Every structure is written in C-alpha cells, then in structure tokens.
Amino acid sequence: MQAIVFGASGGIGAELVSQLSNRTGIRRLHAVSRTGVTASRKVVAHTADITAETDLAHLAADLKNEDDIRLVIIASGILSDGSALQPEKSYRQQTMQAFERVFRVNTFGPALVARYILPLMSRSGRAVFSALSARVGSIGDNRLGGWHAYRASKAALNMLLRNYAIEQARRNPEFIVAGLHPGTVDTGLSKPFQNNVPDGRLFTPKVSAAHLLSVIDGLTPADSGKCFDWAGTEIPA
C-alpha cells in the first residue's frame, strides 16, 4: 500500500516518515512538507503548504494515478512562534491574528487536505485518514482552561474528523477517520512549554511515533470519528 504524511518536516512527522518507510507493507510513502524533505528509495518528497489550496490541488494532480493509498497522517500543527503568537492564558489576550493563524494550520489545513486527498484514497477495504489532534482539544476533558486558539482549533478539527468519518462510511464501511493525541513530545512545538511535564512523561518523537503507528494499526471501523491518545485510549469529545 501507499501512505502520505503531511507535516513531514516536523518533530513527529519526520519520525512517522522514517518508521513507516521501514515497514515492508508500505510500497511507497509520500512525505509532504512546506520545505521539502529528503527523498529515499521509498520516500517521495512533495512540497506543499496545507493552508494553500493551489498547493494541494497540484499535489492531488501529482498523485491522481497512484493506487492503493490506504493511510494518511496529518502531522502539521502550530501552537506558538516564539514571538507574537503565544497560547492565551486569558480571554483578554485573544487576538484575531492568533485565531486566524492557528485555525489556518490546525483546522482549515486538514480540512483542505481532506477535500483534495480523500478522493484519492482506496474506496474499498481498510483505509485510515488521521490527523494529530491534542488532548487539550477535548471539551469534556478541559479542566485547566487557557490556550484558547489552540484548544478551539483542535476541538474544531475533531468535529471535522467526525464529519468525514460519517461521510466516508457511506462510501466505504471499512474506512476509518481518527484524531490522535501523540502525548507530550519533545519537539519544537512543545519546547517552550515543557517545564511542568512530569518526569518520564515527555516522549521522544521516536517513542511517540511508534505508539501512534501501533494505535493506527489497531483501529477498527467502530473507532471511526473518534480521538485516541498514544496508548489507544479514547479521548472524550
């Protein structure tokens, strides 16, 4: 089968590419990033920004003759930028610019990926379309508050994934759509916020990616539309 990873240059995305490319069941792996990643025997590098519709249209045109695309993982995401974009502690810190930036990458980008890539995926048999969400996107699990734009962008992403699950089940009952929480992972995204992470709970990208792939392996159509953490435990909506 073939697989596609978006956000392939990211901490978790790069590791997913590396581990998937070592799997014998994967014939070809399409690694999509804004900057371009190194191609290899199995890995085809594509340059696209998931927030740019023209980029995704070009990518879809490049992939339109590919068959057996059975796995998509969107590992793109943004939380802060070390400058003006910082997770909000209070509603007083909210800005339209922050909402627009965060929702573009975390919510609207994956929605555009769905628009252009779902039609290319296998229409029969098991296939998985997944996006890295976050536990903080759970409304039911929210006890701390804060991080308004990021939390809301992931909650909205989870809603979209649920919608795609319903839509895809009508076409292919074996299709699975899922949100995945990777744990707290030592990447550029989490770096400024690692102070309060308890000992032993900060995963390397390698450990997180291995967990995520084993969760994906275990998903069934009954799981479609839901969100799971790195251990395979369902996260409430």
What does the binding site for ligand NAP look like in residue numbers (CB under 6 A)?
A: 7-13, 33-35, 49-51, 75-78, 105, 132, 134, 181-182, 184-185, 187-190
**Residue 104 CB, nearest distance to ligand NAP (Å)?**
7
> What element of type H or E holds 43?
strand 43-47
**Residue 140 CB, nearest distance to ligand NAP (Å)?**
17
**Cα of 137 vs its chain's centroid, Å:** 13
Q: Is 29 helix (H, G, I), strand (E, B) or coil?
A: strand
- Which residues, in sequence order, are CB contacts of 75 under 8 Å at separation 6+? 5, 6, 7, 8, 10, 12, 13, 16, 132
Instruction: Please check whether residue 183 is in contact with residue 134, taking contact to mean a CB–CB distance below 8 angstroms.
Output: no
Q: How far apart are CA 201 and CA 204, in angstroms?
A: 10
Return the structure tokens found at 189. Answer: 């995204």
| Nearer residue to ligand NAP within complex by CB, 13 or 87 | 13
Tokens 């199995």 correspond to what residue?
Answer: 42
**Residue 191 CB, nearest distance to ligand NAP (Å)?**
9
A 10 A CB-CB count for 38 gives 10
**Residue 130 CB, nearest distance to ligand NAP (Å)?**
11
| Nearer residue to ligand NAP within complex by CB, 10 or 87 | 10
| Nearer residue to ligand NAP within complex by CB, 126 or 206 | 206
**Residue 52 CB, nearest distance to ligand NAP (Å)?**
9
| Nearer residue to ligand NAP within complex by CB, 223 or 229 | 229
| Nearer residue to ligand NAP within complex by CB, 171 or 201 | 201
